[in-house]
Structure 1
């Protein structure tokens, strides 16, 4: 028996209770109608070209129904007589290659067949100019050569900085549409300057007259589309901050402000740019963003299939499994860090042989006087926060809340003979959140 196993295998695991957390949940029922109506409302404010090709910019985030949103935008543009095509707007994601970025779109359901438009993926860019400090400004070549550009993105708090514009249309124009070179330029001086740089870059990009509008998506706490708004180019800077404030109100969270261990079943780029959303875990890779619960240790069990080996975000975890380590594709993981200049998310945490040992190691190092009293939360992903599991030790606090529903009795953890968590046995079929193996 290894010394590592000897040190952790006797650590007790607390009994777990499944609970439902309730959040605000406005929902768009018909994506196509919502997009069509949003364009109709703003039609007169958009500087439509007389004819030609329109680039529809779609990113790599796991936005709810992003394929349907893209399809609806393409359909609306076709109805106006334009020839739309899709451009990946994802900076250095997808391994910073044209093939990789197209593959990311297709993994999100954004295929040429489904959306009804060709995908033109390239890392070629046009330099539009420079910021006052000398940083160059870029735009995707295909998009620049089109007769107009429509940018689709979700509005939400960023994972590494704070400002009036975080993750949204402005950032997509500055970084996503700038491809790897644009992303590298915006990140060159670090996240301490990001809030000002993305605005300056977006202003230059919009001054070309190429940007027609942004299609802003806000999600509710249940990973469903809550709102879709079209922002004419002339109103993007004025209206996006208000949408960000609304998005913050809809955000899910763990309804416990402080606990000892968080176990996350899956992380991946399709879940969050940081693998698991720091706004939920409270673990940020930079000092320029704050918020979320205070957690002593985080354990990650798996990478999602859709992340294709990109383990960005694993570095903020404390323990993980051999299965995760063996699934990491460093060629897909490192480009994001090299472009953003933030390397903390791609560092490797303590690697244990299996799920059981990884969870026990997190408990053992969480500085709890009695391991059996550990306050532990277990989630599937940071996209699915309605039904989660908590240790019995957290119930006295959570039972006092009227936005919590107890769904099960306290149960033991179940592992197979290899120490792998029998995840499907953990979760009662009461949730619409992502399923995990």
Structure 2
């Protein structure tokens, strides 16, 4: 099968590289504008922290903790991540520890209990839940990144509203909404949380295409929904992508929860692989080589690949993966793809139907980091017609089936 494997050439994708150097600055400014008189002496204040790999998240949470503390509040952090971390308190605490969010680093308590309170039902009879410790606090600060979601389209995405409706509700909330339909019921559920739980502020983060903090906004509760929509449009405009279509073979070196809720971002590989329907882009075969350590064995979304390696399969924690898949109503995401013993065999199998002279092949580190990737000679010849791409002259050509990217 080696005759079907092409050499790969490096390309660079140009993005806006501006970012916030000191994440404390916009938080300090935002709290000065909206928190005075809202966060008061002696108030117990819950701050949400999720399971996504947000850059500098520990520093961002620490800055919010400090702003609460300097106003006399008593901050504590809530593990707010739906069913992630295997839907257990220890699992969710471990996820936060992996991002540097610990009681030792923050100097405040962390609550990871799965206990919730039902705050009511939507008009469509969907039960809505809130973490019990957060509900019993004097104030909740929703903190989350705003970005396009792996299922949601249009004005719906990941952000403060999703943190309210899903993350804060732990497994109970995630189960209730996903079972009925996320797209239809997320916003009504989130609105109910904003109305019936002591949510006082939101801290929204937008990252640039290089996953550095590009915008951090503090908002009062009445502005949370509108701010989510505004920031989502901005995040979608700078979303990194692979500017080739069609693609015969796409090799993803690592999938993982720190890159996308589905391991590989459907906004990059094609939303139809997640929700069905007419393909938005043509990628004939997808190969996933490994699972990131930050996923803690959760390989939900692995079923979107066509081929995986034995290395990836052996790292899967099936309890965590199945729990997440059931909660997200994404059973096809945990179907086991064709599994090969090695990287070489996986890539060779994917390339078998194609000829090296014409194959349209791409290899990326993951779906979140697309500033540098590798393409086959056919795609290399198209770069001059794509304004964001340039030939990378700092690296040499590599075999497609190399064990690890340089």
TM-score range, shorter chain: over 0.9
Quote the residue 1:435 is aligned against.
none
- Structure 1 residue 399, shift from structure 2 partner: 2.0
Per the normalisation by structure 1, the TM-score is 0.88
Deviation readout 1:125-179 (Å, 9 max, x if unpaired): 0011112222211000010011100011010111012142311000110000000
Q: How does 1:40-59 map to 2 (within 5 A)?
A: 40-43=32-35, 47-49=38-40, 51-59=42-50
Quote the residue 1:156 is aligned against.
147
Q: Name the CA distance, whole Å, in 2 between partners of 1:137 and 1:275.
A: 27
Which of the residues 360, 363, 368 maps onto 2:351?
363
Q: Name the CA distance, whole Å, in 2 between partners of 1:252 and 1:352.
A: 29
Q: Does 1:259 align with 2:247?
A: yes
Query: Could you say if the C-alpha distance between residues 413 and 252 of structure 1 is closer, same or farther in structure 2, counting changes exceeding 3 Å?
Result: same
Quote the residue 2:53 is aligned against.
62
Query: Could you say if the C-alpha distance between residues 347 and 209 of structure 1 is closer, same or farther in structure 2, counting changes exceeding 3 Å?
Result: closer
Q: Is the 8 A contact 1:162 1:288 kept in 2?
A: no
Q: Name the CA distance, whole Å, in 2 between partners of 1:364 and 1:98.
A: 46
Q: Is the 8 A contact 2:264 2:367 kept in 1?
A: yes
Quote the residue 1:422 is aligned against.
403
Q: Is the 8 A contact 1:283 1:316 kept in 2?
A: no
Q: Name the CA distance, whole Å, in 2 between partners of 1:72 and 1:141.
A: 24
Q: How does 1:5-404 map to 2 (within 5 A)?
A: 9-43=1-35, 47-49=38-40, 51-190=42-181, 194-287=182-275, 293-365=281-353, 368=354, 370-404=355-389
SS of structure 2 residue aligned to 1:373: coil
Query: Could you say if the C-alpha distance between residues 289 and 186 of structure 1 is closer, same or farther in structure 2, counting changes exceeding 3 Å?
Result: farther
Query: Could you say if the C-alpha distance between residues 392 and 203 of structure 1 is closer, same or farther in structure 2, counting changes exceeding 3 Å?
Result: same
- Structure 1 residue 203, shift from structure 2 partner: 1.2
Q: Judge which range, 211-220 or 236-245, deviates more.
A: 236-245
Per the normalisation by structure 2, the TM-score is 0.95
Q: Is the 8 A contact 2:240 2:370 kept in 1?
A: yes
Provide the aligned length of Structure 1 versus Structure 2: 405
- Structure 1 residue 403, shift from structure 2 partner: 2.0
Query: Could you say if the C-alpha distance between residues 271 and 180 of structure 1 is closer, same or farther in structure 2, counting changes exceeding 3 Å?
Result: same
Q: Is the 8 A contact 2:131 2:170 kept in 1?
A: yes
- Structure 1 residue 293, shift from structure 2 partner: 4.1
Deviation readout 1:261-310 (Å, 9 max, x if unpaired): 11111011122111111111225444379886421111011011111111
Deviation readout 1:296-355 (Å, 9 max, x if unpaired): 111011011111111111110000101111111101110011111111111111101100
Q: Name the CA distance, whole Å, in 2 between partners of 1:209 and 1:59.
A: 18
Q: Is the 8 A contact 1:21 1:255 kept in 2?
A: no
Q: Name the CA distance, whole Å, in 2 between partners of 1:147 and 1:320.
A: 48
Q: Name the CA distance, whole Å, in 1 between partners of 2:277 and 2:258.
A: 21
Q: Is the 8 A contact 2:126 2:180 kept in 1?
A: no
Q: Name the CA distance, whole Å, in 2 between partners of 1:60 and 1:133.
A: 28
Q: What is the aligned-residue RMSD (CA, Å)?
A: 1.9
Query: Could you say if the C-alpha distance between residues 43 and 119 of structure 1 is closer, same or farther in structure 2, counting changes exceeding 3 Å?
Result: closer
Q: Judge which range, 303-312 or 166-175, deviates more.
A: 303-312
Q: Name the CA distance, whole Å, in 2 between partners of 1:99 and 1:383.
A: 27
Q: Judge which range, 262-271 or 195-204, deviates more.
A: 195-204
Deviation readout 1:182-226 (Å, 9 max, x if unpaired): 000011123xxx233111111111112500111100000001110
Q: Name the CA distance, whole Å, in 2 between partners of 1:49 and 1:78.
A: 10
Quote the residue 1:6 is aligned against.
none
Query: Could you say if the C-alpha distance between residues 281 and 411 of structure 1 is closer, same or farther in structure 2, counting changes exceeding 3 Å?
Result: same
SS of structure 2 residue aligned to 1:309: coil
Q: Name the CA distance, whole Å, in 2 between partners of 1:209 and 1:94.
A: 24
- Structure 1 residue 17, shift from structure 2 partner: 0.9
Quote the residue 2:397 is aligned against.
411
Q: Name the CA distance, whole Å, in 2 between partners of 1:145 and 1:215.
A: 20
Q: Name the CA distance, whole Å, in 1 between partners of 2:70 and 2:40.
A: 14
- Structure 1 residue 39, shift from structure 2 partner: 1.9
Gapped runs of 5+ residues in structure 2?
A: none
